[in-house]
Amino acid sequence: MKVKSRRHMVLFSGSANPALAKDIADILGEALGDVDLSSFANGEIYVRYNQSVRGSHVFIIQSHSPPVNYHIMEQLLMIDAAKRASAMRITAVVPYFGYARQDKKVLPREPISARMMADMFLAAGADRIVSVDLHSGQIQGFISQPFDSLTALPVFTEYLQAQGNGPWVVVSPDSGRVKVAERYARRLDARVAFIHKRRSEHNEAAALKVVGDVEGRHVVIVDDMIDTAGTVVGAADLVRAHGALSVTVMATHGLFSPPAIDRLKNANIDEIVVTNTLPMPDDIIHLHNVKVLSAAPLIADTVHAIFMDESVSEIFMGDNV
């Protein structure tokens, strides 16, 4: 008996960000798979695939947007269901990876939640994880399976270059992301600066000092996320006080938790640029200085490379670390 070798890709979307999943599928020329996602009366999640996934390479796309715990559990159950249905390989595509900020112990008796997340994905049956701009690259080392950490850097730098402004200074909102700022600066032929800040408690940070020269230049503040917006608003005020000509904030993930919208409405920021890794609240989209770029092409190219066993690093010219 002769058996013909074949590859079969199936894309499924969780309920968190179906618009992004559809964009990814459209770019790949695939239709999203048919899956039943619902809840029991007591809130427990029910998952069932309405088509065969046996022998397929299954990609399960789900951002961990609010309600975060619900969407994490939904994706874990989708992975488990695919494993039990004899999928050949399962890749969890997580544009925004929940609990990524809790990647180490800062105080006694705290959990390392990002490590626990990685353990849960492995236990559920994921063979690979794909995410965009992790809060900390060390999370990739929390699992023994491949973990592709993508970056939205090409999307942001292409947008800036199309605007034609300059000279630029790329500013990291804290010392921990200076290396990321340097990658942006290389592509933009720009200087680098960073903000020295002090964090007193969760979601509370004070910008204290600009390290670097921003006077007479267009400032680009780069970060992985905007949550309550305290960090970027404080950084914007500080660089303005040091003579910046304009301030653009670029963050991959727009969480916009309260009071972010109120802060951004009154902030001294010319433009706020985010990607669609998370669904955008209507009151953010309607702000005049907010621009949402699509991360779908980057993710789609990565999914195709993984499916074809090709290099992911070549897509990002080595910046995806």
CB 130 within 8 A of CB 122: no
- pLDDT for 204 equals 55
CB 195 within 8 A of CB 210: yes
- pLDDT for 285 equals 80
Fold matches, 9-151+297-316 and 153-293: yes
How far from 195 is each of 14, 116, 120, 207, CA to CA, in Å? 37, 31, 35, 6
Catalytic hit among 2, 22, 83, 197: 197
d(CA 167, CA 219): 9
User: Could you confirm whether 197 is annotated as catalytic?
Assistant: yes
Domain boundary assignment for the chain? 9-151+297-316, 153-293
**Along the 321 residues of the chain, how does pLDDT read in single tens digits?**
555 556 799 999 999 999 999 999 999 999 999 999 999 999 999 999 999 999 999 999 999 999 999 999 999 999 999 999 999 999 999 999 999 999 999 899 999 999 999 999 999 999 999 999 998 878 888 888 999 999 999 999 999 999 877 789 999 998 788 999 999 999 999 999 999 866 555 555 555 789 899 999 999 999 999 999 999 999 999 999 999 999 999 999 999 999 999 999 989 999 999 999 999 888 888 888 999 999 999 999 999 999 999 999 888 876 766
> pTM for the complete prediction?
0.92
Classify domain 9-151+297-316 by CATH number: 3.40.50.2020
Classify domain 153-293 by CATH number: 3.40.50.2020
